[in-house]
């Protein structure tokens, strides 16, 4: 979804990972650089994906406050828990501190397919990485501070990931984890021989150094439109697509395996899995992963699935209340035992701006 104005981000519980996070992998000093100047990429057009049979329209859904045919004087006002705040853009931060040049950071928006973790840092800051900015894939890093509403371009060093779109990130202690994304440059888009980057990257927020983790054994194929979640010291990825193939595989990387970093593929113990999809969301709660929505190129979904990490079983949940309409490219975060889902695109390619709250204890959904 293209972002044209700043939006608020719900804050969940902070996660503390093992101290081995920042020590993993191999750092190559490639010389620091200020991100943002990338080669041009031709943006591909997207055709709307149809739901149900071709020609069928999406069923309408009344909001909880909508009184239908009641007189206007008797209808409740549509009140949303939103407020608008304008971002300011301080000068970029170099590795040695704030730039002496008083030229402000360029605005990170509008931008599509970037990655931000579902939680903030202990200082209520958000790290935004990569995406498609003005028809160009980028690998720049922005620090968005919710306390003073600033967005600052920051300089990074080390194994800086290549420009990408459709990747995902998680935050563990002071380490930003980035994996996946469409990384093929213009001219490689249709090349099966040139796979998408499937390396795991760690960004130390204290030193601003990138580390590319060298793993052993099998690893998930590069992809975009996948979803991630953190449970304990394990980083999970599910689904996504690459080269026209939609996936429903689940992989985990345990950051306790410092000496021999390996990926583990989670095979369901009962062979039940959600249909393949991309552009869905995942959140973690109580040793379980909750997944909602997405598309497989033919259908849009509004199903909700639960994966029990201990038992290694998938289960489709029977939810009650105002179930969100089928969608893709939405966003989600979790606060206590409530998963909040915002926006996305519906079956006709229309951008959505509704907010739904899914209580993971009661399995009911409410709209705001």
- Answer whether residue 129 is part of any domain: yes
Q: Do the strands 320-321 and 364-367 form a parallel or antiparallel pair, or are they unpaired?
A: parallel
Bridge partners of 237?
228, 251
- Answer whether residue 202 is part of any domain: yes
pLDDT tier at 193, thresholds 50, 70, 90 = low
Residue 233's pLDDT is 94
What is the reported pTM? Answer: 0.78
- Answer whether residue 120 is part of any domain: yes
Long-range contacts of 310-314 (CB under 8 A, 24+ apart): 311/269, 312/266, 312/267, 312/268, 312/269, 313/268, 313/269, 313/270, 313/272, 314/268, 314/272, 314/273, 314/274
| SS3 (DSSP) at 226 | coil
Range with the largest mean pLDDT of 25-29, 58-62, 257-261: 257-261
- Answer whether residue 132 is part of any domain: yes
pLDDT tier at 80, thresholds 50, 70, 90 = low
42: tokens are 């031709």
pLDDT tier at 78, thresholds 50, 70, 90 = low
Q: Is residue 171 exposed (0-12), middle (13-18) or buried (19+ Cβ within 10 Å)?
A: buried
Query: Which range is least confidently modeled, 220-234, 244-258, 292-306?
Result: 244-258
Domain assignment of residue 122, given as a range:
10-29+83-186+195-217
Q: Total domain count for the chain?
A: 1
- Answer whether residue 360 is part of any domain: no
Burial 54-64 (b: 16+ CB within 10 A, else e): eeeebeeeeee
Q: How far apart are CA 25 and CA 23, in angstroms?
A: 7
- Answer whether residue 263 is part of any domain: no
Average pLDDT of the segment spanning 310-322? 94
- Answer whether residue 16 is part of any domain: yes
- Answer whether residue 165 is part of any domain: yes
């Amino acid at each position: 979804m293209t972002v044209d104005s700043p939006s608020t981000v719900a804050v969940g519980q902070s996660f503390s990972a093992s101290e081995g996070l920042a020590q993993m992998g191999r750092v190559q000093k490639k010389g620091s650089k200020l991100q943002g100047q990338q080669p041009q990429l031709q943006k591909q057009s997207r055709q709307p994906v149809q739901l149900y049979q071709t020609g069928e329209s999406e069923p309408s859904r009344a909001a909880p406050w909508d009184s239908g045919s009641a007189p206007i004087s008797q209808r409740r006002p549509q009140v949303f828990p939103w407020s608008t705040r304008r971002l300011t853009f301080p000068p970029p931060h170099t590795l040695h501190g704030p730039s002496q040049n008083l030229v402000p950071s360029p605005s990170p928006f509008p931008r599509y397919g970037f990655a931000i973790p579902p939680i903030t840092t202990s200082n209520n800051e958000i790290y935004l990485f990569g995406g498609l900015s003005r028809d160009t894939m980028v690998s720049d890093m922005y620090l968005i501070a919710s306390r003073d509403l600033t967005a600052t371009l920051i300089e990074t060093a080390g194994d800086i990931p290549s420009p990408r779109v459709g990747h995902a990130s998680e935050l563990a202690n002071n380490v930003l984890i980035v994996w996946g994304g469409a990384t093929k440059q213009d001219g490689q888009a249709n090349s099966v021989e040139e796979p998408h980057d499937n390396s795991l990257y760690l960004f130390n927020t204290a030193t601003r150094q990138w580390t590319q983790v060298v793993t052993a054994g099998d690893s998930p194929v590069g992809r975009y439109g996948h979803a991630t979640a953190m449970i304990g010291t394990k980083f999970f990825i599910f689904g996504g697509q690459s080269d026209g193939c939609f996936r429903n595989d689940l992989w985990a990387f345990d950051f306790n395996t410092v000496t021999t970093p390996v990926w583990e593929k989670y095979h369901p113990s009962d062979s039940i899995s959600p249909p393949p999809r991309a552009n869905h969301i995942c959140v973690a709660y109580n040793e379980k992963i909750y997944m909602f929505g997405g598309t497989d190129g033919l259908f849009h979904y509004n199903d909700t699935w639960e994966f029990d990490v201990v038992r290694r079983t998938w289960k489709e949940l029977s939810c009650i209340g105002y179930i969100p309409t089928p969608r893709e490219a939405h966003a989600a975060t979790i606060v206590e035992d409530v998963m909040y889902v915002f926006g996305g695109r519906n079956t006709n390619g229309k951008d959505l701006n509704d907010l739904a709250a899914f209580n993971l204890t009661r399995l009911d959904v409410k709209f705001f």
